């Protein structure tokens, strides 16, 4: 058994990492995507708690495939969600979704008298590539001795969204993956100066739009920089054979984004949140409490960062990271502002 565990490796793609970074760094951007996929009407003021990456399956080579995102949204009701970022449609995806969802359902289960209730999450797949045969929804049907039950897995296909629709619906989390809509043309763009100039102009307009959103305080500077940096990461990976494309898009989007002060402050805050969460979990004396505490601490500080960043009060955030009394005071102010 020990040898088997030692052989297990975690499977990640560059696109998985970008998706997870977007969620980790800019969690509120998931709200418009949830509204789009599931027809919800969240306002963006809800609380988002991301679950630990504890749900996984093993492939045929004993490689560990971890879920991309599992989170809970607390608003007028509590909603559990599971979204996977998938590069290519394949025949194993639906089975993998069911395996993940079943673990998640057990995680959120409850027992009342002699009844066990398991709660399956709202599930979806974000397809970076798709074909005419990729359905809008897939169905998982479970045959039980007491009757059949089924639920849908929604499929969102990147290629079906224009950049205009992305901005109109505020689906900014999709921007880093938008280059996939050009994938079939990258080779010809690389060798054609006119096409390359058009692509650069296209991405220049995206950068201008992001700048305007930041200037209007509709997104924070940190969120804008994260979108730009992750867009460059995806382009670097997808267009790795096409130097002119990589350089052209990178130049107009801003090139390599340096470690900004906002990012340093946010990372420092996250470390404090992790420590705060660990202490809460240890005090409860449960491993589950430790994991939940870490993520609650992280998300609460992330939310405080966004709140103070929008008010141009990042210096107060930096001080609050080191001062628990000030941090509690700002939490109370933020909670009151969200209620009003």
Structure confidence at residue 10 (pLDDT): 39
Residues 137 and 285 in one domain: no
Secondary structure percentages of the chain, helix, strand, coil, to 5: 60, 20, 25
Q: How many structural domains comprise the chain?
A: 2
Residue ending a domain, choose from 92, 126, 160: 160
Q: Does residue 300 fall inside a structural domain?
A: yes
Residues 156 and 279 in one domain: no
Q: Does residue 89 fall inside a structural domain?
A: yes
Looking at the DSSP bridge assignments, the partners of residue 82 are: 70, 123
Q: Does residue 101 fall inside a structural domain?
A: yes
10-residue averages of pLDDT along the chain (340 residues)? 36 78 91 96 89 56 62 86 87 87 86 89 95 93 95 96 97 97 96 96 96 94 92 94 95 63 58 56 46 47 69 75 80 80
Q: Does residue 178 fall inside a structural domain?
A: no
Range(s) of the domain holding residue 40: 1-160
Structure confidence at residue 157 (pLDDT): 96
Structure confidence at residue 129 (pLDDT): 94
Residues 13 and 145 in one domain: yes
The pTM assigned to this predicted structure is 0.71
Residue ending a domain, choose from 160, 177, 200: 160
Q: Does residue 298 fall inside a structural domain?
A: yes
Q: Does residue 216 fall inside a structural domain?
A: no
Structure confidence at residue 169 (pLDDT): 97
Task: DSSP letter for 174, please.
Answer: G
Q: Does residue 175 fall inside a structural domain?
A: no
Provide the strand spans (E) within the chain.
9-11, 47-50, 56-58, 63-66, 69-74, 78-86, 110-112, 115-117, 122-127, 137-144, 147-157
Residues 266 and 156 in one domain: no
Structure confidence at residue 291 (pLDDT): 43
Structure confidence at residue 285 (pLDDT): 44
């Amino acid at each position: 058994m020990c040898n088997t565990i030692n052989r297990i490796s975690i499977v990640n793609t560059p696109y998985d990492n970008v998706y997870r970074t977007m969620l980790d760094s800019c969690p509120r951007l998931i709200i418009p995507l949830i509204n789009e996929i599931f027809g919800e009407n969240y306002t963006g003021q809800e609380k988002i708690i991301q679950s630990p990456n504890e749900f996984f399956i093993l492939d045929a080579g004993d490689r560990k495939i971890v879920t991309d995102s599992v989170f809970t949204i607390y608003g007028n009701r509590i909603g559990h969600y599971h979204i996977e970022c998938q590069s290519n449609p394949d025949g194993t995806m639906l089975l993998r979704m069911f395996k993940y969802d079943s673990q998640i359902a057990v995680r959120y289960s409850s027992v009342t008298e002699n009844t066990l209730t398991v709660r399956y999450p709202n599930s979806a797949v974000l397809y970076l590539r798709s074909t005419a045969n990729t359905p809008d929804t897939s169905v998982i049907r479970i045959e039980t001795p007491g009757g059949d039950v089924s639920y849908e897995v929604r499929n969102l296909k990147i290629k079906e969204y224009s950049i205009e629709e992305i901005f109109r619906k505020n689906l900014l989390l999709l921007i880093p993956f938008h280059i996939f809509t050009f994938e079939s043309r990258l080779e010809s763009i690389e060798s054609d100066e006119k096409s390359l100039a058009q692509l650069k102009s296209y991405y220049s307009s995206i950068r201008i739009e992001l700048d305007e959103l930041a200037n209007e305080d509709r997104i924070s500077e940190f969120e804008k920089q994260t979108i730009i940096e992750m867009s460059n990461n995806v382009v670097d990976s997808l267009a790795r054979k096409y130097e002119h494309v990589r350089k052209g898009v990178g130049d107009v989007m801003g090139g390599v984004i340096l470690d900004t002060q906002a990012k340093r402050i946010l990372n420092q805050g996250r470390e404090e949140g992790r420590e705060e969460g660990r202490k809460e979990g240890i005090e409860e004396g449960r491993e589950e409490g430790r994991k939940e505490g870490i993520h609650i601490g992280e998300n609460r500080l992330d939310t405080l960062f966004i709140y103070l960043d929008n008010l141009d009060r990042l210096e107060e955030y930096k001080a609050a990271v080191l001062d628990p009394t000030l941090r509690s005071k700002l939490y109370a102010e933020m909670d009151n502002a969200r209620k009003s």
